[in-house]
Every structure is written in structure tokens, then in C-alpha cells.
């Protein structure tokens, strides 16, 4: 404005800059990341039904190299997706004998550890189990509590919904059960110190820029 000498103008500009930076810092949005997971397994006779880490009474169970827990597999993939950490098939190949018949809770717990090591905290997880049979309404809350325990979160941050497929398709004819999961995570502002472990992401796979992407 008129009447200000150079010193006044510089001071005014300095104050305006400082305010802009401070307001920007206060308003800065947390670094939220979202991930989606999906899985489907075939229902067969002669196997126990395991969903969300729980045994659910039924005359069939889910076929799989592991215990076939389709819900925990979808949760696992949603977390990996949100944290940019490959996928469940990359980490636990279904032709690797060490994962044969494995309890999927162990796989999920291992992935939770990896997300923490990569500097993420888990925010909330929303799940849908697609199953014509058995009726799952009485297990929804227990499955959510089971998942909350595995993730180290309060139960109210996990939702499990159950839907039929209206008699249509492999889920609708009870040949299979599927699960869809969305997970939200927050990148911590200060990365935690690595606990003496090798970096999880192999260098050269996830982070090597393609031509034209170099910054």
C-alpha cells in the first residue's frame, strides 16, 4: 500500500509468508491410503469352513492351499494394496509347501507386521462376505472382533457385512464363497526405525521408474 517504506513492505510480506506456511501446516491432511482386496474359494465337502479366523459350522468348507479363509485373504490383500506392498500371492505362493494348510491368521499377522515396518498405521477395514450358504448373520460381529484382534484395532473400526448373491452365479448356487474388503491406512509422518530387517520391497521391482517417469 501507499505510504509504506521498503522495510514495511518487506516485514508485511514476511508476516504473510509465515502465516501461509503455518496455516498450510495446520491444515495439512494426513496421508491416508486406501486398498481393496477380493478373493473367492470353492466350497467342497470334507473341509472345515473357516471365515475371518473363525470356525463356522457347515457341511462344507473352502478349498485352498491354506485353510481357505477367503475373508482373511481379502483383508490381507486390501492392507497390502493400501501400503503398496505387492500382493498375497507374491508373499505366500500357493505352490510353496510351507504354506500348505496354513492358518490364514498367521499370514495376516505377518502382513500387519510388514505394514508397520513400512511406516503405516491401520485406520479401518470394511468387509463384505458373499455367501448364499451358510447364513452368516449371527457370525458377523464375531468375525469383526476376530479381525480386529488380528489387526490390533478396536472392534468398531472393523465392519463385516454378509450378502447372498440372489441365487445367481457360483456364489448364488453355493459353489463358492467370496469376499470384498476395503482398508484405509495412514502413512506415519515419521517412519519407524527398521528393526534390523532387510527392506521388504525388493529394490528394482516396485520402485524403479519407467522411462519418462524419472523425477
CA atoms within 13 A on the CB side of 79: 29
Phi then psi for residue 142, to 5 deg, are: -65, -40
CA distance 191 to 205: 21
Which residue stretch of 73-81, 171-179, 183-191, 196-204 sits at the interface with Mg ion (rule: CB under 5 A)?
Answer: 73-81
- Residue closer to Mg ion by CB (options 77, 117) is 77
CA distance 50 to 55: 5
Which residue stretch of 68-76, 151-159, 171-179, 205-213 sits at the interface with Mg ion (rule: CB under 5 A)?
Answer: 68-76
CB of 66 to Mg ion, least distance (A): 7
Residue 39 sits in the site that holds Mg ion (CB under 5 A): yes
Query: In the chain, helix, strand, coil percent, each to 5?
Result: 35, 25, 40
- Residue closer to Mg ion by CB (options 48, 167) is 48
CA distance 3 to 15: 18
CB of 143 to Mg ion, least distance (A): 16
Q: How far is CA 56 from CA 43, 146, 160, in A?
A: 13, 13, 15
Which residue stretch of 31-39, 43-51, 164-172, 200-208 sits at the interface with Mg ion (rule: CB under 5 A)?
Answer: 31-39
Helix (H), strand (E) at residue 111 = helix 104-117
Cell, residue 97:
509347501
End-to-end CA distance of the chain: 41
- Residue closer to Mg ion by CB (options 60, 73) is 73
CB of 80 to Mg ion, least distance (A): 13
CB of 77 to Mg ion, least distance (A): 8
CB of 87 to Mg ion, least distance (A): 11
Residue 73 sits in the site that holds Mg ion (CB under 5 A): yes
Pick out residues in 76-95 that bind Mg ion (CB under 5 A).
none
CB of 107 to Mg ion, least distance (A): 10
Binding site residues, Mg ion, CB under 5 A = 39, 73
Amino acid at each position: 500500500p501507499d505510504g509504506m517504506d521498503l522495510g514495511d513492505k518487506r516485514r508485511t510480506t514476511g508476516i504473510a509468508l509465515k502465516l501461509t506456511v503455518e496455516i498450510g501446516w495446520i491444515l495439512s491432511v494426513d496421508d491416508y491410503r486406501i486398498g481393496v482386496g477380493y478373493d473367492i474359494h470353492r466350497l467342497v465337502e470334507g473341509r472345515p469352513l473357516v471365515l475371518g479366523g473363525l470356525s463356522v459350522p457347515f457341511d462344507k468348507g473352502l478349498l485352498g492351499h491354506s485353510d481357505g479363509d477367503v475373508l482373511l485373504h481379502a483383508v490381507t490383500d486390501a492392507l497390502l494394496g493400501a501400503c503398496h506392498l505387492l500382493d498375497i500371492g507374491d508373499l505366500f505362493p500357493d505352490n510353496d509347501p510351507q504354506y500348505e494348510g496354513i492358518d490364514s491368521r498367521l499370514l495376516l499377522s505377518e502382513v500387519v507386521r510388514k505394514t508397520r515396518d513400512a511406516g503405516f498405521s491401520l485406520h479401518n477395514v470394511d468387509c463384505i462376505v458373499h455367501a448364499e450358504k451358510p447364513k452368516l448373520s449371527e457370525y458377523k460381529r464375531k468375525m469383526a472382533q476376530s479381525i480386529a484382534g488380528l489387526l490390533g484395532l478396536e472392534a468398531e473400526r472393523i465392519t463385516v457385512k454378509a450378502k447372498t448373491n440372489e441365487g445367481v452365479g457360483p456364489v448364488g448356487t453355493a459353489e463358492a464363497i467370496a469376499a470384498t474388503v476395503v482398508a484405509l491406512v495412514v502413512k506415519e509422518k515419521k517412519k519407524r526405525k527398521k528393526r534390523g530387517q532387510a527392506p521388504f520391497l525388493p529394490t528394482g521391482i516396485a520402485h524403479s521408474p519407467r522411462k519418462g517417469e524419472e523425477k
